[in-house]
Amino acid sequence: MSLLILMSVFIGGLALGIPVAVTLGLASAAYLLFSGIPLVVMPQKMYAGMDVYVLLCIPGFILAGNLMNSGGITERIIRFANALVGWARGGLGLTNVAASMLFGGISGTAVADAASIGGMMIPGMKKAGYPADFSAAVTAASSTVGPIIPPSVPMIIVGALSGISVGQMFLAGAIPGIMMGLAMMVTTYIIAVRKGFPRQPWQGFGELGRSFFGAFWAIAMTVLIVGGLMTGIATPTETAVVASVYALFVGIVIYRELPLKAVPRIVIDSAISSAAILALVGFANVFGWILVSERIPQTIAETVLSITDNKFLVILLINLLLLFVGMFMETIAALIILFVPLLALAQGVGIDPLHFATFAVLNLMIGLTTPPVGVCLFICANIARLPLWPVVKAIVPFLITNIIVLLLVSYVPAFSTWLPSVLLD
Amino acid sequence: MTRLIDIITQASRIMTGLSFLVLMGAVILQVLGRTVLNYSPVWTEELTRFALLYLAAFGLGLSFRSGDLVNVDIISEALPAPWPKRLRFLGAATTALLCAALIGPAWKYTSIGAMQTSPALLWRMDFIHASVLVMIVSLMVFSALRAVSILTGASEGLAQNRMEEFQS
């Protein structure tokens, strides 16, 4: 009965539009009251959930991405991506995907990617004769690469939940992220050829070199982050803070496009975004504790394993469940609630936790572009000034592409586990 | 009313920013201490953790105001008027009520900390546990302000980010 109350309040709260973190708190409080457990458990578990050293790197990476974005990096990344791939058929679509991949190396969230790249690329593509729905769809789809390519806020959360090091998680996402980006480029090219989209003239090696040097400082930040973690010189938190200082230096001294007076606002806004994530982690920790105390992870694992212990089928079931949940739920909340129960199931059939964590994050990122709740889809449709439906139709080929990559990553563990094993062992 | 909201917002922004600066400062000192200064204080890690807790505490109410504290509004905003506004009120009022119910337990949890000290900084832990209390109060204040502003007709109850979307 208590569990029924927990789930009813949770689903009802979400449907009524109450913030996800508050809904988790509300459902947990209802459960505790009904079960006769003192409410003091809530602040205690919230504190325990947030007082995790790994989470310290979240504000740093968010700030680094925001500083870079405000410091004129987006234009430079797009210019370099355009010089690199813009000459092919559907060049601006390919530029869009390549820019998202490069942007993913400095930003840890897909929303930042969709808003930054989309703000420039969608109007530009429309002006160049690309259909608005395709422009919005390719931007939304490619923005999901951001949190797969390191750094990644969802990967940090998974690290905090599972005890897997953030360095391992970041490296595990590198190959799947690149695969996803390349696959979306192929899809873009095929659509461009079939629909006769324009191509940009080849701008020559001179422009390629100049644009590379323009974007160099942004690309170097990815190297700084990955290098710092790989060599073990710095912890993820230290890497995040060093990346922020680096982004500040590049924006003010090198690019000279980051006004000093804008820095306090960017710092505070980044802190506010981080506070929302941390509160979600805090409230979800209470909810998660209730699920564990009710033996929900074990029950799920035992129930599924009593039906089948076929690894192939279990991976498929996990993916179908996550895709379904991702359609309706905010990514980080879904990750926090479902990760631990599903990890128990995955380990029950011998799936490596690092492998599971990678395909779970990749799966939930796809949810950012699926209706009815797809944040990146909303952002891009809004920028393109389109209703949601045409963008939903236009994104279908990219969704199919991303699901194919998801299946590859799900069934070939080496895509996620090889790089960490080579570079960190 | 507007003046009061401005003061609370500005105070929260300053405290959130200060917490972030303390976090950054402690980590920078940690890195410089290890690599350049040959001085590695043991308390930096603890201070960064505490700063993060207060960053979340002071920033939570602001994240409710800005819309960073996400909600799933696909159903609630698709309903015919005046239901979206009514549900925004319900969301804000429910948030404020939950927080009000949690103030007592959060105070109790804070008090428990008086019996402990942090290992490195030797700070009384009730000051650190109080971050959860601050967090709940911050969320309660901003959600109550939104509920009141909807009731008085001063606003439509949209989060700041949503208002900007509508205006753009």
- Global ipTM: 0.94
At residue B167, the pLDDT reads 44
Q: Any CB–CB contact under 8 A between B48 and chain A?
A: yes
In this predicted structure, what is the pLDDT of residue A219? Answer: 85
Question: What integer pLDDT is reported at residue A173 of this predicted model?
Answer: 94
pLDDT at position B166: 43
Q: Residue A335: its pLDDT value, please?
A: 86
Listed ranges A111-125, A199-213, A275-289, B89-103; the one with the highest mean pLDDT:
B89-103
pLDDT for the residue numbered B168: 39
- φ/ψ region of B157 (left if φ > 0, alpha if ψ in -120 to 50, else beta) reads left
Nearest CA in chain B to A266: B17
Find the helix packing angle between A331-348 and A263-293, rounded to 10°: 40
Could you give the count of Cα atoms lying within 13 Å of A53 in the half-sphere of its Cβ?
13
Give the Cα separation of B158 and B5 in Å (integer). 15
The DSSP secondary structure of B105-155, one letter per residue, reads: HHHHHHHHGGG-B-TTT--BHHHHHHHHHHHHHHHHHHHHHHHHHHHTTS-
- The C-alpha atoms of residue A307 and residue A167 are separated, in whole angstroms, by 36
% of residues, chain A, pLDDT over 70: 100
Q: Which of A407, A411, A306 is nearest to A363 (CA)?
A: A407
A236-251: pLDDT as tens digits: 888 899 899 999 999 9
Tokens 């953790």 -> residue = B49
- What is the pLDDT at residue B165? 46
Give Dmax over CA atoms of chain B in angstroms: 65
Nearest to A271 among B55, B74, B90 (CB): B55
Instruction: Give the model's pLDDT for residue A425.
Output: 66
For residues A270-296, average pLDDT: 91
How far apart are alpha carbons A2 and A30 in whole angstroms? 8
DSSP symbol at B80: P
Strand partners, A199: A89
Q: Is the pLDDT of residue A18 over 50?
A: yes
The predicted model gives A159-185 an average pLDDT of 92
Residues of chain A neighbouring B168 (CB-CB closer than 8 A): 382
Q: Does B113 score more than 70 pLDDT?
A: yes
Q: Token pair of A350, please?
A: 């011998």
Mean pLDDT estimate for chain B: 90
Percent of residues, chain A, with pLDDT higher than 90: 52
- Cβ-Cβ contacts under 8 Å, A44 against chain B: 109
Query: What pLDDT, on a 0 to 100 scale, did the predictor assign at position B153?
Result: 87
Query: What mean pLDDT value characterizes chain A?
Result: 90
pLDDT digits (tens, 9 = 90+) for A318-340: 999 999 988 887 788 888 888 88
Whole-number pLDDT of residue B164:
52
Nearest Cα to A174, choosing from A266, A105, A85, A220?
Answer: A105
Q: Judged by CB atoms within 8 Å, which residues 95-114 of B form the interface with A? A: 95, 98, 101-102, 104-106, 108-110
Q: Which site among B68, B88, B108 would you substitute to test the A interface, given the most A Cβ atoms closer than 10 Å to its Cβ?
A: B68
**CB contacts, 8 Å: A271 with chain B:** 16-17, 19-20, 55, 59
Once rounded to an integer, what is the mean pLDDT over residues A47-57?
A: 90
Q: Is the pLDDT of residue A157 over 50?
A: yes
Mind listing the pLDDT tens digit for each residue in B42-80? Answer: 899 999 999 999 999 999 999 999 988 888 777 887 888
Cβ within 8 Å, pair B66-A55: no
Please, where are the H alpha helices in A128-259?
A: 132-143, 153-162, 166-195, 204-231, 236-249
* Single-letter amino acid code for the residue at A366: I
